[in-house]
Amino acid sequence: MDVVNDEPIFTGDVPSRITGVSTSNMVINGASSSTCQAIGSFSNSDNSRNTFIKSEMSDLGCLSKLWIVCSKKTLSYKCPGNTQCTFKASTTELNASDKASYIDQENCPCSEAGSEIFTTGCETNIPSNVSGIIKDMKGSIETLTVDTDGVEIETSNVLSISTMRIRGVNQFKGSQAIKVDIVDIFTSLPTRVTFDNPVSISATQLSGSSVFFFFKNEVSIILGTTKGQTIKSGASVSLSSTLSNDQNIEVITTEEMKEADLFISSNKQVKLGGSLYSKTLTITNTKETTDEEAMFMIPTGKEFNANKLKVVSSYLKSYKIVETSDINYVNIGEYSDGVYIDKYKSYATYGTKGKRSSDIICSMKKEGIQSGVIAFDDKNTNTSWDRAGCSCDGESCQVNMISDSDYRMTGINYEFVKSIFIKNGNDLKTYTSVLEGDKIQGENIEVDTGNIEFRVGKIQMNKLTIQKESTISFIGINNTSTIENIVLIKPGTTSILVKDGITPLTLKINNDNNTLNSITLQNSRRVIISNTQTTINLGEVNIENSQLYLDSGNYEFNEKTINFIVNSNDFMMVMGPSTQINSNNREIKTMNFNIKIEKELEGPIYLLRTSYQNFISRFGVKFRVTSNNRLKGEPTNAKDSKYELTQVCRIYVALVPKGYTITECPKDPCGTNEA
């Protein structure tokens, strides 16, 4: 708050003589346009509070002798002078409103109430020769110095103190609020201050000492100041509160508290007004019953920081200490036995492992896209996420990737997420979303976009829901991966591409909407399709130097063309022992194999492993072989007359040069003895 002064514009006798003037539309111009102005000075006070003087931006103050007008609410007028009011020596009882209690009986006590418009310049001193009770303290005091032990200060009205300098063991009593701009513990000896009143402390400073605050009513306190270096290293602050059900405690710790110790004991939830900082944090939860409420409530985007955390046991044997809005926001170095911090550092508990009560939701910034790339990097959140704590991870993590343009999200490394929602484009336009990084592991991915590419080394999800017509690509899988359940909301509109995978990828489709538009495999070691509940129609099937493994379930292949592009792979398509084909349709229709070869064959290429001993005749398999000389710029030529399909060892279908005889059975890709 800016405190300003200026000379009065006019002088007068008493305020009540002024009539017919309004300040509601008054404007201060010129040099004083950003100040508070004393527009009138009166030689005498008649305690007038006329409505034309008292308004939102105007008041009668400074012993009712100045008419003050402010240009904005963030300013206030400091009354001139600096009255010193020192109490007389006493060990029994003094009255703060009685001038006889002061050494200077002419100008004391400091009893005038200040306001948002003005502050008084009165200082009150309680010297070391005063103890016992001081009653009826009220008003606005510039500085209250308590340089003694064993004083009980009883308030009779609101008490406003700009600076409270205090030491020793002392107590404030009363039901009226106390407002303190700054508390200064000006001694190196332990200090203990008890507040029975509701109290608000806007700043605290102490130098290498320990202070104990005991609160028995509503409290708001800031430890440290905005100026810095007011909490010295090695200082110790203790906050103990015993509040009723309708009372609250709010604590703000500035970064100065990083080198100070903090002890907090409370029977109510402690509301933190920002990040918590402490060197050693000691806590005790004195509630008498267990509930789901954490001991500390911390704002979104704020951290819980302590080099060491100690818990002192109380009635409660288990409770949640804190739950932050984001992962890596609980930063505790060492902690006592019984404390649990989740692996993602998003919450801490005592006596129980517990779990988060709310999800962490991270949303991609639409405006953060630069050249089609969004850097998935916590150090570069300005171009990625809606707040600094993202991205998240863990069982309570929800990630929303919503955009209206092409983007590539790089650096992805999810250990486990609850859900990922990907939405891009609309029914009129299709965009491509690329997720690139080490791994994606978790519960659920929901895709509502035209094209999505998972360029990750590993993908391990319980569920993949595809909302609309989409092409889903898995590129560069290099760790064994599984999607436990693929849900197709619009059957027959989803295409799957698996490319450059060097380890198995398992895709399980177990819902009723079970028709794919197509599945394409390129240079992938093994892609396993599995289902246990329905018949899957794979649509168009393209296999290039890859293996499609149908692990279990029923598959529809009537009038199907399967495209094989052959290099040197054996068993480009494998049907497991429990796989069935066209089991719901007894009519035999044609199945077509379209086979491209890179070079002329000298021996067999095993295209298919099946559990049907008469596969070729049963399903009316026809084939066409072409040479694939496109790399040389040569035309593709039909080679049907040179080759034939044969079924050997009961369950293997091979392409061989005409007249070639297979004398040995190959190794079964399913590892069985069915051949």
pLDDT single digits (tens) 342-368: 999 999 999 999 899 999 999 887 765
What integer pLDDT is reported at residue 247 of this predicted model? 95
Q: Where does the pLDDT of residue 1 fall: very low under 50, low under 70, confident under 90, or very high at 90 and above?
A: very low
What whole-number distance in Å separates Cα of residue 360 and Cα of residue 378? 15
The count of C-alpha atoms lying within 13 angstroms of the C-alpha of 114, restricted to the half-sphere facing its C-beta, is 22
Average pLDDT, whole number, for the chain?
85
What integer pLDDT is reported at residue 381 of this predicted model? 59
What integer pLDDT is reported at residue 131 of this predicted model? 95
**pLDDT, tens only, 388-421:** 788 888 899 999 998 888 888 888 899 999 999 9
Q: 282-291, 496-505, 653-662: which has the minimum mean pLDDT?
A: 282-291
**Eight-class DSSP state of 94:** E
Q: How many CB atoms are located within 10 Å of the residue 644 CB?
A: 15
Closest CA to 79 of 6, 152, 175, 21: 6
Structure tokens at 339: 């404390």
Q: Where does the pLDDT of residue 626 fall: very low under 50, low under 70, confident under 90, or very high at 90 and above?
A: confident
CA distances from 535 to 509, 519, 532, 576, 584 (A): 9, 16, 9, 15, 9
What integer pLDDT is reported at residue 185 of this predicted model? 93
Say whether pLDDT at 371 is over 70. Answer: no
12 vs 535 pLDDT, higher one:
535
Closest CA to 294 of 220, 354, 241: 354
Q: 43-47, 65-69, 154-158, 298-302: which has the minimum mean pLDDT?
A: 43-47
Q: What is the mean pLDDT of residues 161-186?
A: 94
What integer pLDDT is reported at residue 411 of this predicted model? 85
Tell me the three-class secondary structure of 576-608, residue by residue: EEEEEECCCCCCCCCEEEEEEECCCCCCCEEEE
What integer pLDDT is reported at residue 341 of this predicted model? 96
What integer pLDDT is reported at residue 79 of this predicted model? 76
Q: Where does the pLDDT of residue 538 fall: very low under 50, low under 70, confident under 90, or very high at 90 and above?
A: confident
Q: 84-88, 222-226, 383-387: which has the minimum mean pLDDT?
A: 383-387
What whole-number distance in Å separates Cα of residue 594 and Cα of residue 591? 10
Q: What is the mean pLDDT of residues 192-210?
A: 92
Say whether pLDDT at 201 is over 90. Answer: yes
Show me where the domains of the chain are located. Answer: 2-78, 203-350, 428-657
Say whether pLDDT at 51 is over 60. Answer: no
Point out which residues pair with 437 in neighbouring strands: 412, 456
What integer pLDDT is reported at residue 675 of this predicted model? 62
* Number of residues assigned to the chain: 675
Residue 408 is which amino acid? R
Q: What is the mean pLDDT of residues 6-25?
A: 59
What integer pLDDT is reported at residue 74 of this predicted model? 55
What integer pLDDT is reported at residue 634 of this predicted model? 44
Say whether pLDDT at 284 is over 60. Answer: yes
Q: 23-27, 68-72, 260-264, 467-471: which has the minimum mean pLDDT?
A: 23-27
Say whether pLDDT at 633 is over 50. Answer: no
**pLDDT, tens only, 211-270:** 999 999 999 999 998 776 678 888 999 999 999 989 999 999 999 999 999 999 999 999
369 vs 334 pLDDT, higher one:
334
What integer pLDDT is reported at residue 336 of this predicted model? 92
Q: Where does the pLDDT of residue 195 fall: very low under 50, low under 70, confident under 90, or very high at 90 and above?
A: very high
Strands 481-483 vs 470-475: parallel, antiparallel or unpaired: unpaired
Residue 48 near residue 60 (C-beta atoms within 8 A) = yes
Closest CA to 70 of 85, 59, 81: 59
What whole-number distance in Å separates Cα of residue 385 and Cα of residue 265? 37
- H helix or E strand, kind and range, residue 617: helix 615-618
Say whether pLDDT at 30 is over 60. Answer: no
Alpha-carbon 249 to chain mean position: 24
633 vs 522 pLDDT, higher one:
522
Say whether pLDDT at 25 is over 60. Answer: no
